[in-house]
């Protein structure tokens, strides 16, 4: 784990599969916009970009061709570490969700450690006005959203990552996911030490308070011990993203910001893009005298070739 002045691995989650493009023009849609948002976030200081794929109308897609186009487009322009989702969106099958990783060969890919409710729009009175039919369908399925990650799916994805030489990032939304990580390590499906991404504040997972973060942080140390390499913190929504990010930066943890999880830079102002959220996290890190890890530093930590 990181000492108080160690560099922070800063992840920019640029696309996501849950926010709706009608909510903000900052949601990048189509491969060119996703590449542009990723490169801008890297230039603003991100160590890693975490990405999903979306069609031109913003609909999440599992298209292996698009993931390949995005990842190669990023790699042509910068050396940022690339983290591709297997979460996709909740209406994708497991077969669909792994295709993008197999095709695009990212440095890191996400491994979601449990089935859960995953409600982004639970209150109809607060539904945003939307332009696209598919967005209306997303809103109307609220109240019955399940993000399915069976043990079989988790094992299948973890095994595929090992075969591909892709580093798993364990997405932890709740306490039970830490026990799942322990089980997978003990049965040999995962090899430690592992990297965890806490995703806090999803309705269906743990809450987004500092108390929730520290309860999970202490449980991770207790359950995983020396099998834990790094903990990153992604707060969902505003003000959780930057507040939990600040606490993480002050507490020896890594940080995730970006449009996937949060559309606002201030209470009443939307972020222009993920790069603006990255710049805010960089400014917090500077005040705490914790530099941001370079992609080369993280590659060395991951045992990857130092250049992509």
Whether 257 and 279 have beta carbons less than 8 Å apart is answered as no
Angle, to 10 degrees, between the axis of helix 210-224 and the axis of helix 240-250?
50
**Residue of minimal Cβ distance to ligand KMH:** 87
Tell me the longest C-alpha to C-alpha distance in the chain: 50
Shortest distance (Å) from residue 260 CB to Zn ion: 5
- Burial class of residue 192, CB neighbours in 10 A (0-12, 13-18, 19+): middle
CB of 62 to ligand KMH, least distance (A): 12
CB nearer ligand KMH, residue 254 or residue 285 = 254
Residue 232 binding target from ligand KMH, Zn ion, none, CB below 5 to 8 Å by type? none
Burial 205-243 (b: 16+ CB within 10 A, else e): bbebebebbeebbebbeebbeebbbbbbbbbbbbebbbb
Per partner kind, with CB cut-offs from 5 to 8 A, the member of Zn ion, ligand KMH, none near residue 99 is none
The beta strands (E) that lie in 113-200 are given as 116-117, 146-147, 167-172, 194-200
d(CA 299, CA 230): 14
Peptide bond into 19 cis (omega under 30): no
The H or E element that residue 234 is part of is: strand 228-235
Tell me how far, at minimum, the Cβ of 70 lies from ligand KMH, in Å: 14
* Footprint on this chain of ligand KMH (rule: CB under 6 A): 16-18, 85-87, 89-90, 110, 112, 118, 147, 171
Shortest Å, Cβ 280 to ligand KMH? 21
- 220 — phi, psi (to 5°)? -65, -40
CB-nearer residue toward Zn ion: 85 or 104: 85
Binding partner of residue 47 among Zn ion, ligand KMH, none, CB cut-off 5 to 8 Å per kind: none
List residues binding Zn ion (CB under 5 A).
Answer: 85, 87
116-151 as b/e: b if 16+ CB within 10 A: bbbbbbeeeeebeebeeebbeebeeeeeebebbbee
- Look at residue 11 and give the partner it binds from ligand KMH, Zn ion, none, a contact being a CB closer than 5 to 8 Å depending on partner kind: none
Closer residue to ligand KMH, CB minimum distance, 130 or 236: 236
Torsion angles phi and psi, residue 140, rounded to 5 = -70, -20
Tokens, residue 120: 């982004």
Residue nearer to Zn ion on the CB measure, 135 or 261: 261
Identify what 147 binds: Zn ion, ligand KMH, none; CB under 5 to 8 Å per kind. ligand KMH
Q: Which is nearer to ligand KMH, 147 or 161 (CB)?
A: 147
| Nearer to ligand KMH among residue 147 and residue 238 (C-beta) | 147
The residues with which 171 forms a beta bridge, in sequence order, are: 112, 197
Shortest spacing between CB 3 and ligand KMH, in angstroms: 28
**Which CB, 86 or 167, lies closer to ligand KMH?**
86
Min separation Cβ 84 and Zn ion, Å: 9
Identify what 171 binds: ligand KMH, Zn ion, none; CB under 5 to 8 Å per kind.
ligand KMH
Quote the least distance from Cβ 106 to Zn ion, whole Å. Answer: 12
Q: Binding partner of residue 38 among Zn ion, ligand KMH, none, CB under 5 to 8 Å per kind?
A: none
């Amino acid at each position: 784990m990181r000492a108080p002045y160690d560099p922070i691995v800063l992840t920019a989650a640029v696309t996501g599969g849950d926010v709706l493009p009608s909510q903000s023009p900052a949601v990048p849609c189509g491969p060119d916009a996703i590449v542009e948002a990723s490169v801008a976030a890297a230039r603003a200081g991100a160590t890693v970009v975490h990405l999903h794929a979306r069609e031109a109308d913003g609909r999440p897609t599992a298209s292996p061709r698009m993931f390949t186009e995005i990842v190669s487009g990023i790699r042509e322009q910068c050396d940022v570490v690339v983290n591709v989702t297997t979460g996709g969106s909740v209406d994708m099958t497991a077969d669909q969700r792994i295709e993008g990783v197999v095709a695009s060969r990212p440095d890191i890919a996400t491994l979601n450690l449990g089935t859960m409710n995953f409600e982004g729009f639970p209150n109809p009175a607060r539904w945003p006005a939307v332009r696209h039919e598919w967005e209306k369908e997303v809103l109307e399925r609220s109240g019955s959203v399940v993000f399915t990650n069976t043990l079989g799916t988790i094992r299948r994805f973890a095994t595929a990552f090992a075969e591909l030489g892709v580093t798993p990032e364990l997405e932890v939304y709740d306490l039970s996911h830490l026990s799942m990580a322990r089980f997978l390590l003990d049965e040999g499906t995962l090899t430690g030490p592992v990297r965890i991404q806490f995703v806090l504040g999803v309705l269906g997972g743990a809450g987004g308070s500092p108390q929730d973060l520290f309860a999970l942080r202490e449980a991770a140390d207790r359950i995983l011990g020396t099998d834990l390499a790094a903990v990153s913190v992604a707060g969902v929504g505003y003000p959780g993203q930057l507040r939990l990010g600040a606490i993480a930066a002050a507490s020896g943890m890594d940080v995730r910001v970006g449009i996937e999880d949060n559309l606002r830079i201030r209470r009443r102002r939307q972020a222009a893009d993920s790069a603006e959220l990255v710049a805010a996290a960089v400014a917090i890190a500077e005040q705490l005298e914790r530099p941001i890890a370079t992609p080369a530093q993280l590659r060395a930590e991951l045992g990857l070739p130092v250049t992509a």
